[in-house]
Amino acid sequence: MMQAIEFWFDFVSPYAYIAAQSVEQLAARYGRTVNWQPVLLGAVFRETGSGPLTMRPPVMANYFRHDFERSARFAGLSLRLPDNFPVSTHNTARVCLWLKQQAPHLTGEFVRRVTSAYFNGDVPVNDSAWLADVVSGLDLDGQSAIAACADPQWKDALREQCETAIARGIFGAPWIIVDGESFWGNDRLPQVERWLAQGSF
- Name the nearest CA neighbour of 12 among 138, 165, 124, 97: 124
Q: What contacts 24+ positions apart, CB below 8 Å, involve 134-140? A: 134/110, 135/95, 135/99, 135/110, 137/113, 138/103, 138/106, 138/109, 138/110, 138/113, 140/99, 140/102, 140/103, 140/106
Instruction: Judge whether residue 93 has pLDDT over 90.
Output: yes
Q: Return d(Cα 67, Cα 170) in angstroms, integer.
A: 22
Summarize the confidence of residues 53-81 as an average pLDDT: 93
| Interatomic CA distance for residues 24 and 167, integer angstroms | 26
Rounded-to-integer distance, Cα 40 and Cα 43, Å? 6
Beta bridge partners of 184: 175
pLDDT exceeds 80 at position 43: yes
For residue 132, give the nearest of 81, 82, 98 by alpha carbon.
Answer: 98
Beta-bridge partners for 178: 181
Name the percent of the chain lying above pLDDT 90: 90
| Residue 119: pLDDT over 70 | yes
pLDDT band at 79 (very low <50, low <70, confident <90, very high): very high
Question: What's the whole-number average pLDDT of the chain?
Answer: 95
SS3 of 8, please? strand
Mean pLDDT of 90-109: 97
**What is the pLDDT, as a whole number, of residue 53?**
82
Residue 5: phi, psi to the nearest 5? -80, 125
Confidence of residue 1 (pLDDT cuts 50, 70, 90): low
What is the DSSP code string of 105-146? GGHHHHHHHHHHHHTTS---TT-HHHHHHHHHTTTS-HHHHH
pLDDT one-digit tens code per residue, 127-152: 999 999 999 999 999 999 999 999 99
Which has the minimum average pLDDT: 83-87, 109-113, 142-146, 157-161? 83-87
Is pLDDT at 66 greater than 90 in this prediction? yes
6 pairs with which residues across the strands? Answer: 35, 177
The pLDDT value recorded for residue 52 is: 83
Q: What is the per-residue pLDDT for 200?
A: 80
